Structure 1
Amino acid sequence: MNLVTILILISIITIVFPIILVVKEWKKTIWFNSSLLLLLIFTLFFLISNFLESIDLSKYLDPYESFFLPVLWSIFLFGNIINLKVIDLHKIQNELRASNQRFRLVTDTIQDMFWLDSAEDERSLFVSPGIKSVFNESLIEDLNPRAHYWINAIRKQDREFYLQQINKNISEGQPYTIEYKIQTKSGKINWILEKGYPIRNEKGQIEVIAGVCSNITDRKLTELSLKKNEEKLRIILSSIGDAVITTDTEGKVEWLNKTAEKITGCSSVDAQDRKLSEICNIISSHDRSVIDPVKEVLKTGEILQFASDTILMNCNGKEYHIADSAAPIKDDHGNTHGVVIVFTDVTPNFNLQQQLIDNKERLELAISGGQLGTWDRDIRSGKVIYNDWWISKLGYSPDEIEPSFTFWKNLIHPDDLPRVLNSLNDHLRGNTQSFETECRLRTKSGNWVWVMAKGRVIMRDVDGKPLRICGTNLDITSIKKYQQQLEHQKERLSLMNQRLLKANKSLDDANNRLKELDHLKNDFISLASHELRTPVTTVLGFAQTLLTPGLIINDTRRNDYLKIIEKEAIRLGKLIDDLLNISAIEKEHSTMNMKCESLNQLVHEAIDSMNPSENQAIHFEDDHKELQVYCNKDQIIQVFIIIIENALRYANDIIVKIMEDTSHSLVSIQDNGPGIPTHLLKVIFEKFYRVQGEPKPGKGSGLGLAIAKDIITAHGGRIWAESTPGQGSTFLFTLKKC
């Protein structure tokens, strides 16, 4: 291989290989320096050879090669220059790539839509993801969509004006700003603010049109609302309950509303062009110093709020406690044209207003003291960041917290976890506007705290997949406890209400019963007075007859009179005994003297003491089985007599039976009388009660069955009646067995 060939290869390697290295991102500087060193060596070699002629090149080169040698040297030098250009070009490409990445990051982050259109062929060069928030449209993935392809979303009535404006400005090479309305796919109307900027090339020709679209719906709605409010304000100021006074910058009154006219005692016409101090003075209640609100506002240029205990003295000398404020009247350029003073007569409720202010301050302090836990989850990496306050709330230190979604998920109570994950996944899929749920989280100590978790996806990719979600945790443990206590209180209140209703019903029943008893008592008093008066009158009458001086009467007649007196005296004694017995039983003054007695014998003794008529019969179905009961013999015989006598008034046939169970003996006294109506079965044992229309009136006092009930109750037993109208009645009572 001759020298020329070697030089050619070196030149090719010097030119080509650096380019490959640059493309492959290898060390460019080392090769470039190496190539430059070879170039210097090669150049020195020829310089030394030509000047010193120490080397005879003719040995190595023929005439053709000698001619080609400078050419190779030029190629070698040109190759290194190319290498230098390639390196610079690659550096520029890297900087451009980084710039594009920064541009993408900005356009992906801002909510507004940034776009680029080609002015030559009306192509859309770029549209930022902000189109979704501005137009509620998905970003079209077409590599070469039509410029301004969102124009179809503009309302038809706005579209023609829109095209005229932008075409005019673009043709003149001027930036433009335009507002228009669009209709989204859901039918919602949004306001859009669009700004466009023609960009020229080196020749001055418009090459690209750049622009920004912003959703200004909220601002426009606010502006429209402001206009409506301004109109309302004009109406309100004329009829408002507050007093309003406007002045010019010299403090001369321009206008008063009706309330101000009433308080100041001066009409708007009379007050016009007069100083404010001529129609009223505003005075501090602390030191009675005069306050000039116009002067104060013009000096500061700001709204002034005066103390709520400020005093207004009108032109007639009358004073009002007022709450007032004053503000400068400014135009759109900030120039002050006057002052508006608004005040309210708070004389009737001054103290109340002060109390409300104190309460408001306490409320604001309580609200500002509220604390929230925050969390920020990167869905792609799975990393979750919590604030220190929430970490400490759970009892952990920052070093003990694993910044992952799994850590948070493991803290959730197992019963709450499925519901929380369903709610979260619904939001991540875009089914809900936000994520909100209540759940229990486990603290480091193992306790559970209730939290209200709220969050929202703040970043999605072009396909709508969530990238980042942030939210807060609010400790609602105390609220949950209060809710549980409230539910418990509700249950208690409900139970108490039910008891109260029952008690009310019982009271109503008792009241009705008292009324009934009062009526029965009155009847009894009337009856008792009659029953007591009748025998007394009879006894007194016959006694007076017998004591009549000079009365001639035979022994037979005298004995008849004495028998009548004896009979009525016995009747009177029995009535008095009944009253005394029932009173003694009720007050537990009677001596029970209870002991074991033969129930069979008691029945026989009671029946033997009875004196039924010829057509009446009393039967005792005795099976000769001796039953022993624990009782007061005389009182139980009295119960038998009371019930049997009561039955003999209505029936001819009486049947007495005795039975037993494990702890009690049961007595049954059955008659064949007309029976007792069902609704009276509960009242026949009450005191003073007598059946209306009984067949043998005057034989009872209405106390017999009441006495029987009190005796049985005192013995620890129970007495009741069973009856079917037309089929007779059965009276039953129980006694304790020995």
Structure 2
Amino acid sequence: MKDRLSVPNPQQIGNQNFAELLAAGNSMCLFVWQDTELWPVRYVSDNVESIFGYTKQQFLEREVHFKFLVHEDDLPRVNEEVRRLKSGETGYRITHNDYRIRHKNGRHVWVSDTSIIKMDTEDGVPLLFGYLIDITERKELEIKLETERNRLQLLLDATRLGTWEWNPQSNLTVFNDRWAQIFGWSKEEIAQSPYSWSSRLHPDDYDRVWRAVKDHLDGITPFYESQHRIRHRDGHYVYVLDRGRVIERDEHGNATRYAGTVTDVTEQKQAEINARRAASAKNVFLANMSHEVRTPLHGILGLVGVLEGTELNEHQRKLLLTVKESGDHLLQMLNDLLDLTRAEEGQLKLNKDVLLLPRIMQHIEALYRLPIEDKGVEFVIERSNSMPERIYSDRARIVQILTNLLNNAVKFTSQGTITLSLGWHALESSGNPTREQGELLIEVKDTGSGIRDTQRIWQLFEQEQQGLTKKQSGSGLGLAIVRNLVQLLNGSIQVESEPEQGACFSLRLPMYAVYSDQVNPEALDQPRLPELAPRRILVVDDNPINQLIVSEMLISLDQQVIKASSGQEAVEFLKRHPIEVVFMDLHMPLMDGMETTQRIRDLPVNQPHIVALTANAYPETRTQALRSGMDDYLTKPFVKADLARILNRLDKVKS
């Protein structure tokens, strides 16, 4: 077979004007190949160099063999398609699947190729006529989109998210396989209608969910989010977190595409429910036991009072005094326990009035001066010059806080000094000269044995020393009582301590200073929390009870709360959803709060304000947390006012 370099005549390649039209384009090129081993080029349009980098002459003089330019991964398929064309399986023409041609500069050009086969009329050699279109830009976009689709599908599979899409105009609704599986169905069994899920909503959730859906449709909320229950195929209810937003509207502003995801949160919700039940059961049990013990104890103490009025010898009086002191101690412990359970159930009430602060201090000094000095320890009371004479607060709760803190100091201090300091921090003026809003500053400092674990001491019944060898007795109620009373008064408390270096408890209690004896106590309102802008807040804590407490505080401040039980869960959530503030527990398994923060700071997202939550009050830990990328630091135990103060500070910065 003789190869020829001459261009086929117009009858062989078709209308020459058509060839010129093809050549005029920047992305379309006409080829005629000879069907021999290397597909030598018999004709090519003039614009070939602009597409593949090789000149027309290089092709025609066989300096470049077309077959060698086809990508090695695509060549077998192209060969098979040519074989099918020549065998007549595809008729007289074939459109190849997209394939790649190596450009002169080494890159690859994606082409779409439609070819026909004809015989050379002069020597009978089969010729392939084809036009190639450069589709590189479109193909790379297709590949990118396919990669994104695959990545999204892998992400959905990994996170076990169900997806849905709804057209509110036609009511056509599409669910993915995972959505159906969450509720025990296959996708084929689910009708493409919103009724498929709305009919399975828990009756108690139905109105609330549809209101949330409609609020976003009407533009009232920037997105739709709801936690609710949907009935499973076998009859039980699945708790889900359902999120979505309108992604397309028509020319009239009507939503035509409303898409979202569903996450099964039954396990987390059940843990929350169990935590609530456990806390409630514990409180009920403790309250009941307190009441049951109180009745016979009052009988014992009553008889002790009767016996004190009888004739007793010195030995009997000492025995009776021991009984009385033991009974008083037990009664105080029961009162504390009852107050604690009431506080945790939100039933502990305040009884505020105008108080003389010097009288409270005289009472405290009378109670503790002699017992402290009998131990060989110095008792110092300090009072700043700015202290008001009168305050508006609950006398019993202030005394209860001071006695518990001083009892703790006395118990663990055998030498040195116990110091009680009081000060006053004035806040914004009320405009009324008879009263001033501020904070009572209390500090109880000792030179005792110190505290190793500043987190543990706030827990109910927890003590630094445990077991048979512990030096000090006690119920472990005192500091738990203090924490709850401080919270009740909308105050804050923190502790600084090191082993064998003593401890210092610092409190801030908001209240009014009163500068007139003609003040109506009812006119002195409790200091209000600041008005806060609503925010999306992520609470990250592996302890469901701690998570619940922080979440409930924030919800009561009208904030939108999402919860995560691990650092990894928090990072994955922030990859997909915008969050303004993160409250982050430092001590978590696998990935602690600092590492989680560093991972978040590496994400290509709008960065949230991250607040560390920890019972560790050491300055070194605070420094490490801030260096890890955290913006703020809150020491446990904290109260709602502490959270409000941080959020209010963000509002001021933003404004």
Fold shared by both chains (TM-score > 0.5): no
Q: Under a length normalisation based on structure 1, what TM-score does the superposition of the two structures give?
A: 0.31
Higher relative contact order (CA 8 A, sep 6+): 2
**Larger % of helix: which?**
1
Q: Under a length normalisation based on structure 2, what TM-score does the superposition of the two structures give?
A: 0.34
